[in-house]
Structure 1
Amino acid sequence: MNKPWSESWFDAYAPERFEAFTPSHVWAVLGLIVCALLLWLTRGVIRSHKSVSEGIRWFLMAVLFLSEVTLNIWYVTQRIWDAQTSLPLELCSVTLLLSILMLFFRSRWLYPIILFAGIGGALQAVLTPNLAYAFPHYRFIHFFVAHSGIILAALYMTWIEGLKPTWKSVGGAMLFLNGLALIVWIVDTALGANYMFLAGKPSTPSILDVLGAYPAYILAEEVIALLFFSLMMLLFEVLPGGRLYARSGTYKKTY
């Protein structure tokens, strides 16, 4: 007998399985696009009203914080918490936690990590989710809210707080990725885990499927990450005023 929605939406053993590019997936992606566009189109109004900008900053922090807290509550209440799968050691889990710190401290040091590695990882996750649950399951909602929150946090710091990256920060983001990968690989080896997919590809379809076998796809990811970060930096170069920030070698306000 099927459980009522009030129970099955939170059930770790719910039978509904996620399928990519179904209407619910498309709507989730469109929701992120709409939020980003609204942030861009209203950036002038937000900047000119401190109470509004502060409200959005704290709202994003709350969303990201609650995403991590409720996820662990779900693990524990469903009795599926496991050190091999539940530690916050995926790239997006790490950048989510760093996004909270970035927003809280308005950190210009964490900003390029979230801008490049955070957006890169979260965008790939949103487009090709490693997700087992279909809408309206809690994990579906959590997945897209958390990953969208990472992207919007970086965009907030760019469009509202006025931070801009430099070419040097591209290298810093790559160093961060490789340093994190080394730490996670050590943990994977110790626990027999597969965080950041350093020991094998995910079970669901992803971009890794076209990047070759293990461990070749890890090297391919390095190249793709560098190209993606460089492309993002080029966008800042060609956008109005972008060259000024790139040449300065520092992070400055745009207002």
Structure 2
Amino acid sequence: MTFEMFSAAHIAGLVVFVLVMAALILFRARLREPALNRLIRVTLAIVLLGCELSLQASYFMEHSWWIGSLPFQLCSLMVLISAVVIIANHKGFYDVIFFLGSMGALQALLTPNLDESFPHFRYFEFFIAHIGIVAAAVFILAVERYRPSFRSVLLAMVWLHVLAIPAAITNIVTGTTNFMFLARKPGTASLLDLLAPWPWYLLQLEIVAFGIFLLLYGAVRLFPESEQAKGT
């Protein structure tokens, strides 16, 4: 079955997303207990890594693996980075998974670049991976009491460009890949459809990304100070 935006399969994925985020927020105090905290972080890391490994394995099994299957899309990179950061509890990289993870995965969940629908494997892998990315971001915010500063916003912008380097190089070398949608807009409907044609939408994306980071920063600042700890 071909995936359709806001179909029953899409809505079901979004409902699961809301339930997972609500559980992390509602049970945040209990999730700070050392044993349970460690269990959740390890479980989340395993789920994220499992998603990427199973996706790559599916390409090999279907004889469809090629250079375009490398994990250079923003969300693929965030799956790997979030898994490492969340299990190591490396607070120095909280800025990366909170801002970049939230921005990329939330857009992906709202406007999925997905061909296969329920019950195909890639439907489950897509939603589990992207929900997992946002779960990692919400976990460090609600449970670990991460509080970004304006410097965090600037660091997130820097990291966005750093992660775009291998994607851009691969796009140029192959001439066919479209990692991070730097070479062209995706074939499916997305927020990029509202922007100018290539390459001008890349400049507009700089403004959009910075604006989203500021919105995330402002939203976190609305939390009571007692619920947050100073970030990096």
TM-score by length of 2: 0.95
1:35 is aligned to 2:35: no
Structure 1 ranges of 4+ moved more than 4 A: 242-245
2:191 pairs with one of 164, 188, 207:
207
1:54 is aligned to 2:38: yes
Shift of 1:135: 0.6
1:181 is aligned to 2:178: no
Which digits, 9 at most, give the CA deviation of each residue in 1:92-120, with x for residues without a partner?
01111100111121111211111001110
- For structure 2, the 5+ residue unaligned runs are none
Residue 7 of structure 1 aligns with which residue?
A: none
* Total equivalences in the alignment: 231
| CA–CA separation in structure 2 for the residues paired with 1:220 and 1:243 | 35
Alignment of 1:77-226 (within 5 A): 77-83=61-67, 85-192=68-175, 193-226=177-210
Q: 1:185 to 1:114 in 2, by over 3 A?
A: same
Which digits, 9 at most, give the CA deviation of each residue in 1:49-75, with x for residues without a partner?
322221111110110011011001100
Residue 231 of structure 1 aligns with which residue?
A: 215
TM-score by length of 1: 0.87
Residue 45 of structure 1 aligns with which residue?
A: 30
Larger radius of gyration: 1
| CA–CA separation in structure 1 for the residues paired with 2:88 and 2:222 | 29
SS in 2 for 1:200: coil
Shift of 1:28: 0.3
| CA–CA separation in structure 2 for the residues paired with 1:99 and 1:79 | 28
| CA–CA separation in structure 2 for the residues paired with 1:25 and 1:18 | 8
1:23 is aligned to 2:5: no
Letter of the 2:129 counterpart: A
Q: 1:91 to 1:46 in 2, by over 3 A?
A: same
| CA–CA separation in structure 2 for the residues paired with 1:79 and 1:33 | 35
SS in 2 for 1:129: coil
Shift of 1:164: 1.8
Between structures 1 and 2, the one with greater helix share: 2
- Backbone CA RMSD of aligned residues: 1.5
- For structure 1, the 5+ residue unaligned runs are 1-15
Letter of the 1:149 counterpart: G
